[in-house]
Amino acid sequence: MPATWRRLADWLRPLAALLMMGSALSFASPHFLTSNNLAAVAVQAAAVAILAVAETMVIIGGHIDLSVGSVLALCGVAAAILMSKGVGIAVAVVAALALGLAVGTLSGLLIGFGRMPSFIVTLGMMGVARGFALIITGGINVFGLPSRFAAFADARWAAVPLPAMLAGGVAMVAHEVLSRTALGRSVYAIGGNAEAARLSGISVRRVVAALFAISGLLSAVAGLALTSRLSIGQPTAGVGYELDAIAAAVIGGASLMGGQGTIAGTLIGAAIMGVLRNGCDLLRVPAFWQQVAIGVIIIAAVFLDQFRRRR
C-alpha cells in the first residue's frame, strides 16, 4: 500500500470507530447529541487533546513522555498562585509557559545529551513536578482567580468553545511543523531509525531535546486551559492524563515503536477518549470501569499496531 494511502487509512479507522461510538451513544442516551453536551465534551477533551498532540510528537520521535499530566498541574497551579496574588493574567500565563518550557527542556537535555532513557527521566519528572505542585500549594486548591481568566473556558466563537479552538490551533501548528519543516522530517527519521538519521547528518540529540521542550510547553498550555475550566488551581489536576494522551495518540495511529503517526489521527483519538468518558458518565458507568476501558483500548491499539507492522 502506498505511504499516502496508508497514512489515510491510519486516521480513517479511528474516525470510523468514533462515528460508531457516537451512533451507539445517541441511541443509548437522548442527552448525548444535544448541543450543550457536545460543547461540554469539546471543552473537557481540549486539555487531553493538547497533551496528546505533544505526546504524538514525542512518540513519533521514538520516545515517551510520562510527565505531561504532572507538568500540566504544576504550571496550572503556578499561574493560579500568581493570579490570586494580584499578578496580571498575561504575566501569569507567560510565567506558566516559561515554567513548562523549562521543565521540558531539562527532560530533553537529560534524554538527548545525557542519553538517559525517556521512560525513566519522565517517570522521575512526573514525581518531581507533582511534588512541587503539592509543595507550593500546601496540597490545597488555589482560589481567587480573575473572572476574566475563568470565563475563557465558557466562551464561544460561532458556537465553538474557545478551549476547543485552542486545541485545534495547537494541532494545526504541530501538523505544519511535522509535515513542512526540517524538524518534522527529522522527527520521523529519528523515530524510524535513530542511527541512520545520525549518519545522514541529523543532530539527533538536539531534535530529541527540542521535542521534550515542546512537550513541556504544550503541557503548560493544557494546564492553563484546564485551570480556566476548573476556575481553581488544583495540584492534583491531570492525574492519569498521561495515559489518556498516550491512548489518544496510539488510537490515532501513532506507533509506540516510533516513526509513524499523524496529528489528525491524534485529534480523532482524543475525541474518542472524550466521547468515551462522556458516554460512561451519561450511562452512569463507575469511574473505575472507565480506567479499565482505557487500559483495554491502549492494549488493543498496540496489538493492532504490531499486527500492521508484521503484515
Can you give the three-state secondary structure of 192-256, one letter per residue? HCHHHHHHCCCCHHHHHHHHHHHHHHHHHHHHHHHHHHHCCECCCCCCCHHHHHHHHHHHCCCCC
Cell 485551570 sits on residue: 227
CATH number of the domain bearing residue 306: 1.10.3470
Q: What is the pTM of this model?
A: 0.93
Cβ contact 290:274 at 8 Å: no
Per residue in 122-139, pLDDT (tens digit) is 999 999 999 999 999 999
Q: Give how many domains the chain has, as a whole number.
A: 1
Residue 213: what pLDDT? 97
Decide if pLDDT at 5 tops 90: no
Owning domain of residue 250: 3-310
Residue 75: which of 100, 101, 108 has the closest Cα? 100
pLDDT at position 237 is 94
Q: pLDDT (tens digit, 9 = 90+) per residue, 206-256?
A: 999 999 999 999 999 999 999 999 999 999 999 989 988 998 998 888 888
pLDDT tens digits for 183-194?
999 999 999 999
- Residues pairing with 131 in the sheet: none
Average pLDDT over residues 143-157: 90
| pLDDT level of residue 3 (50, 70, 90 thresholds) | low
